[in-house]
Chains A and B, each alone.
Chain A
Amino acid sequence: MNNLLIWPVALPLLTALLALLWPRRSNWIGVAGTGLPLLAVLLVSWQVAASGPLELALGGWAPGLGIALRADGLSVLMLLMSALVTMAVAVYASVYFAHAERRGEFWVLWLLLITALHALFLSGDLFNLYVTLELLGLTAVVLACLGGSRESLQAALRYLVLGLLGSLTFLIGVALIYAGYGTLDMAALGDAIVAGPTAWVALSLMTGGLLIKSALFPLHFWLPPAHANAPAPVSAVLSALVVKAALYLILRLWLELFDGVVTQAAAVIVGVLGAIAVVWGSWAALQAERLKLMAAYSTVAQLGYLFMFMPLLAALPEGAGRELALGALVLLALTHGFAKSAFFLAAGIIMQRAGHDRIAELGGTARSLPVTAFTIALAGVALIGLPPSGSFLAKWQMLSTLFVTGQWVWLPVIAVGTLLAGAYIFRLLGHAFAPGEGVGPSLSVGREEIPAVLLALIATLLLGFWASAVWELVPISAYAGGGA
């Protein structure tokens, strides 16, 4: 029964191989290969929700010597997000790439990306995390350069190099951890790690590496070009999932492994960077002239929010208050994941129909592509943090935590960020609603529009109304530092 945990990883991997072998059938294999892990993830989630965290000691070796896969609330939520988003994007991509030359490779890489994501979310071993991180980075890079344009290649290369730097930095942290504590198993580490130079240096190194990957403010510069120039389905998962993977790791490290090591000052530093990212990213998004670039900058800003949680979390003692904040953080990340992927998919539709994505020339879009415009609006709602989206709840709880911890400083940042987000989203909508010749004669609902709108609906409605599940799941932790 425990082998359940391997399926979210094994299934996409298997199907990836199949897709590699039968490129002609890759469309079908790709969609199926995305759907099957979704089922597995659902099963896992159900199990976790019903009976607590799951653990799979691979090869039957005790964790430590061997590698353990673990699923707890946090990873299940991440898995759910990734499985759902990839499912929707896969359906979309089966239309988007219907006639692309390299769709065979796309599907293989796509499935490998899913493998990497799921492996990362399930991994319970620090070094294995490094491997999954690398795998994720490489698949993402390759997918990002599928577009084939010069910009996309350049961006992908930069992404790759920085990703390598990031994972190396992570790896040296892992080395120090192994040096200090003699194990790589995260559960064991969660118990073992105590505050001290080893923990501090290792944590800062690992965090530094992950911050590059998650594009926190001064390290964000690779993100906008990479996300903006990739093909739409790829941009969607890059913005929605890939950066979140690094964030997920940071959360794991900070809150569960290095709980008690993290100092308030460090958290504040990260928070400040997050705050700058919020303001700067939103501002840049407001200035952006292209739709996808705007979305990419918006990702920078949204990630900033997530990092602003750090000082709050650090200031809270373990317990309900912290779980509340953590749940809010996760909810915000989830909402952003769904919303941003929907946004990118919609942008892709517009780009395919119009041949460009210059915001100023989008007049008439709302008329010719009503569903897509609707998707953008819904996703925008979630990005701004308006109800009934999940991000509204998350921001509410964030503010609440802010008041509880007395960290008023962040208040103006949230306010400014929200307003700026409103500004850029509605600037876009304003252009879309404006009269114009539109982007094409099509008035019908395309098959690729449905996944986009579904994603947006998940972000705005599902996560808004069933957000309590997040708070139910988050305290289920497989690691000592968690809600034990």
Chain B
Amino acid sequence: MMTMSVWLPVGILLSSFIPGVLIFFQPEERHRLRTLLNLLGALVKLLLVGVLIWGVFHEQVFETRWFLAPGLEFVLHADALSVLFVSLSTLLWLVTTIYAIGYLEQTPHRSRFFGFFSLCVTATVGLALAGNLFTFVVFYELLTLATYPLIAHKGSPEALRGARIYLRYTLFGGLLLMIGAVWLHTLTGGVEFVQGGVLDQFAELDRDLLRWIFLLLILGLGVKAALVPLHGWLPQAMVAPAPVSALLHAVAVVKAGAFGIVRVIYDVYGVEFAAELGVLSLLGAVAAITIIYGSVKALSQDHLKKRLAYSTVSQVSYIVLGAAILGPLATIGGLVHLVHQGVMKITLFFAAGNYAEALGIHRVSEMDGVGRRMPGTSLAFSIGALGMIGIPPVAGFISKWYLGLGAVEAGAAVWVLPVLIASSLLNAAYFLPILYRAWFKSPATPWPADKTAGCARELPDPLLWPPVTTAALALLIGLFAAAPYSPLEWAELIAGREYRQ
């Protein structure tokens, strides 16, 4: 049992790392083997995560330590928050892998793609399991590295440009994060993630210094989380293939930033201490601005994936907002949105990919009447979109509910509620026209590139089922939010542990 608690986190990492590395060296033609490796890895990971969930729920300790350098330890540690993120990424990885297998059929460089794909997930899982700030930074940078080839995958000038912009932002962010982390590390001699935070034990530290460090950390993480002045890469990165966008927006990159912010606030600074420092209100303001800004920008985008990208900018800041409001309810809201947004956004991107793949539709204005042509995809899209707006019983509603409750509880309703409401309205304003076009308009002209004409079904299975599955998931985790082992319950568990002190 002892050994398992040490090996399980490593095993979870390796279950995607090893297939990734193996896939790299597979010739392009070995389609079946690659698929097998991918799925095997994903399933093994799912299994291991299952064990992890069970264990963490029963307060078992899973921890791996590896001494790297004086004062630097590589720590993988599973707490409830990690489990939340790990299970999200694992589950969605499986789905995305299936989707990607279907999506990339007959395209070149698949070995490379799936190799980096697996590495990307490894990095994400590593982020989730990171037990101290150092390990977090390591995986944070790794994530940057693993995603860059995915964004540049097509090799077209736009793809390369998008990837370059992505890098520009994320390397800069990674650097800031690293500087902040090192600084903090130097001051405290090692920053383990401890529920409730560690910094309040260092009473002698200069408060202003800690504020600056917080700023650095947030700036660094904010790049990936696409907080407003730092969000510029995200809409550019939508040139990536659809599975990558899905991964980027729902599981890996953006979430990594948000997750990091949550970690910093709760497990490094400690939310009460952070509030005492007065840094949370600033962060909340930034999050609020981002929420509104992203939505407003999304309104004017005709390109579907760009609109979704701006929507991500807006939605991810909900998590940040939840983290920035003092109080367990807001925490729950933010945390649960981590999962909910992921599931919903991945649905949207899958669907967008399907539209592009089947009908060559890239723009909202081309979507007239697509609902009848691709009912399954469109239904999934609709559920995701409604969830984003916060319509019950889709998952997004639960997040908004807890965020709102948290805001009211913390007395921050004056500015949070208007933001939430305005954002919901704006969400509706940019999502509902899409639904309207899809369902209620009739197709005027032939679609740009119709590949499904004459097909028995609207799409091949690996393309159709992932969005449908995630949409169903989004519906179910919203509908059965109060059920045991639901994300909401985990979020409550985490919030309970964070605020126990």
Chain A residues, Cβ within 8 Å of B109: 367
**Residues of A close to B199: CB separation below 8 A:** none
B480 at the interface (CB under 8 A from A): no
> Is A393 touching B68 in the complex (CB atoms < 8 A)?
yes
Closest to B27 in A: A443
Are A387 and B69 interface neighbours, CB within 8 A? Answer: no
Closest to A393 in B: B69
A431 to B, closest residue via Cβ: B160
- A430's contact among B137, B164, B178, by CB below 8 Å, is which? B164
Question: How many angstroms between the C-alpha atoms of A404 and B183 in the bound complex?
Answer: 9
Query: Which residues of the partner chain B approach A324 to less than 8 Å between Cβ atoms?
Result: 69-71
Complex partner residue of A327 from B24, B69, B155, B160, CB under 8 angstroms: B69
Encoded as 1 (CB less than 8 Å from any B CB) or 0, chain A from 291 to 335 comes to 000000000000000000000000000001001100110010000
Task: Tell me, in angstroms, the Cα distance from A402 to B179 when the chains sit together.
Answer: 10
Q: 9 shortest A-B CB distances, which residue pairs?
A: A399-B182, A387-B138, A403-B186, A422-B171, A386-B141, A435-B155, A400-B186, A387-B141, A400-B182
Known: A396-B72, A422-B171. A465 touches B66 (CB 8 A): yes
Q: A426 CA to B161 CA in the complex, in Å?
A: 11
With CB as the reference atom, state the residue of chain B lying closest to A470.
B69
* Residue contact B152 to A415, C-beta cutoff 8 Å: no
A392 at the interface (CB under 8 A from B): yes
Nearest-neighbor residue (CB-CB) of A321 within chain B: B70
| Interface 1/0 per residue, A446-484 and B, CB below 8 Å | 000000000000000000110110110000000000000
Q: Is B286 an interface residue (CB 8 A)?
A: no
CB distance from B231 to the nearest CB of A (A): 19
Which residues of B sit under 8 angstroms from A384, Cβ to Cβ? Answer: 171
Known: A387-B138, A465-B66, A465-B68. A430 touches B163 (CB 8 A): yes
Task: From A320, A423, A426, name the one whose CB has the most chain B CB atoms within 10 angstroms.
Answer: A426
Whether A419 sits at the interface, judged by CB under 8 Å, is yes
> Could you tell me how many residues of chain A have their Cβ less than 8 Å away from some Cβ of chain B?
43
* Residues of chain A in range 407-454 having any CB-CB distance to chain B below 8 Å: 411, 415, 418-419, 422-423, 426, 429-430, 433-435
Residues of A participating in the B interface, judged by any CB pair closer than 8 Å: 320, 323-324, 327-328, 331, 366-367, 370, 374, 381, 384, 386-388, 392-393, 395-397, 399-400, 402-404, 411, 415, 418-419, 422-423, 426, 429-430, 433-435, 464-465, 467-468, 470-471
When chains A and B are docked, how far (Å) is the Cα of A386 from the Cα of B108? Answer: 28
Nearest A residue to B174 via CB reads A386
CB distance from B30 to the nearest CB of A (A): 14
Q: How far is the CB of B313 from chain A (nearest CB, A)?
A: 23
**Is B436 part of the binding interface, using a Cβ–Cβ cutoff of 8 Å?**
no
Measured CB to CB, the closest approach of chain A to B325, in angstroms, equals 31
Q: Which residues of A contact B185 (CB under 8 A)?
A: 396, 400
A419 CA / B171 CA spacing, docked (Å): 7
The digit string for B77-91, where 1 denotes a CB below 8 A from any CB of A, is 000000000000000
Contact B70 A320 (CB under 8 A): yes
A430 with B69: in contact, given A386-B144, A400-B186 (CB under 8 Å)?
no
Specify the main secondary structure of chain B where it touches its partner.
helix
A426 lies within 8 A of B138 (CB): no
- Per the bound structure, the CA–CA distance linking A344 and B182 in Å amounts to 32
Within 8 Å CB of B71, what residues of A? 324, 397, 400
Given contacts A331-B69, A419-B175, A468-B67, 4 further A-B contacts (CB under 8 A): A324-B70, A387-B141, A426-B167, A464-B68
Which chain B residues border A386 with CB–CB below 8 Å? 141-142, 144-145, 174
Q: Does B263 contact A (CB under 8 A)?
A: no
Q: Is the CB of B171 within 8 A of A434?
A: no
A-B contact pairs, 11 of them (CB 8 A): A320-B70, A324-B70, A370-B112, A384-B171, A396-B182, A397-B69, A399-B186, A418-B171, A433-B149, A434-B160, A468-B70
Contact of B141 among A370, A392, A426, A468 (CB under 8 A): A392
Q: Is B134 an interface residue when CB atoms closer than 8 A count as contact?
A: yes
**Residues of chain A within 8 A of B68, CB atoms compared:** 393, 464-465, 467-468
Contact residues in B for A418 (Cβ distance below 8 Å): 171, 175
Determine the distance from Cα of A177 to Cα of B249 in the docked complex, in whole angstroms: 64
Choose among B157, B160, B163, B167 the residue that contacts A422 (Cβ–Cβ < 8 A): B167
B440 within 8 Å of A by Cβ? Answer: no
A residues near B108, Cβ cutoff 8 Å: 367
Q: Is A403's CB under 8 angstroms from B155's CB?
A: no
One digit per residue, 1 when the CB lies within 8 angstroms of any chain A CB and 0 when it does not, for chain B 189-225 equals 0000000000000000000000000000000000000
Give, as a whole number of angstroms, the nearest-CB distance from A83 to chain B: 23
A388 to B137, CA, bound (A): 10
Determine the distance from Cα of A471 to Cα of B157 in the docked complex, in whole angstroms: 45
Interface centre among B108, B134, B144, B171 (most CB of A within 10 A): B171
The smallest C-beta distance from B211 to any residue of chain A, in angstroms, reads 16
Q: Given the complex, which residues of B lie within 8 Å of A388, measured CB to CB?
A: 138, 142
Chain B residue with Cβ nearest A373: B112
Inter-chain CA distance A384–B144, complex, in Å, is: 13
B148 contacts chain A at the CB level, 8 A cutoff: yes
Does B415 make an interface contact (CB < 8 A)? no
User: DSSP majority for the A interface?
Assistant: helix
**Complex: A422 Cα to B178 Cα, angstroms:** 15
With a CB–CB cut-off of 8 A, which chain A residues contact B155? Answer: 433-435
Rounded to whole angstroms, the CA-CA distance of A366 and B157 in the bound complex is: 15
**CB distance A387 to B160 under 8 Å?**
no
Do A396 and B167 have beta carbons less than 8 Å apart? no
Q: Is A387 within 8 A of B179, CB to CB?
A: no
Q: Is B172 an interface residue (CB 8 A)?
A: yes
Contacts of B67 in A (CB 8 A): 468
CA distance A423 to B66 in the complex (A): 31
In the bound complex, do residue A396 and residue B70 qualify as a contact, i.e. CB atoms below 8 Å apart? no
Instruction: Give Cα A396 to B71, complex, Å.
Output: 11
B70: chain A residues at CB < 8 Å are 320, 323-324, 327, 397, 468, 471
Report A95 CB to chain B, min CB distance, Å: 20
Residue-by-residue, is B144-156 near A (CB-CB < 8 Å gives 1, otherwise 0)? 1100110010011
Cα A429 to Cα B70 with chains together (Å): 33
Residues on B with C-beta less than 8 A from A404 are 186
Q: Are A403 and B145 in contact (CB under 8 A)?
A: no
Q: Assuming A422-B171, A433-B152, is B178 touching A396 (CB within 8 A)?
A: yes
User: Known contacts A386-B141, A430-B152, A471-B69; is A403 also within 8 Å of B134 by CB?
Assistant: no
Given contacts A324-B70, A433-B149, contact A392 B179 (CB under 8 A): no
B177 CB, min distance to chain A CBs, angstroms: 11
CA distance A327 to B155 in the complex (A): 40
Separation of A435 and B156 alpha carbons in the complex (Å): 7
A404 to B66, CA, bound (A): 24
- Considering only CB atoms, which chain B residue lies closest to A374 in the complex? B24
In the assembly, what is the distance between CA of A76 and CA of B155, in Å? 44
Which residue of B is nearest A404, CB measured? B186
Q: Are A415 and B182 in contact (CB under 8 A)?
A: no
Q: Which residue of A lies closest to B154 (CB)?
A: A435
Which of chain B's residues have a CB closer than 8 A to the CB of A392?
Answer: 138, 141
Given contacts A387-B142, A426-B167, contact A393 B149 (CB under 8 A): no
Residues on A with C-beta less than 8 A from B175 are 415, 418-419
Closest to B135 in A: A387
Whole-angstrom CA separation of A426 from B163 in the bound complex: 10
Report the bound CA distance from A381 to B175 in whole Å: 14
CB neighbours (8 Å) of A393 from chain B are: 68-69, 72
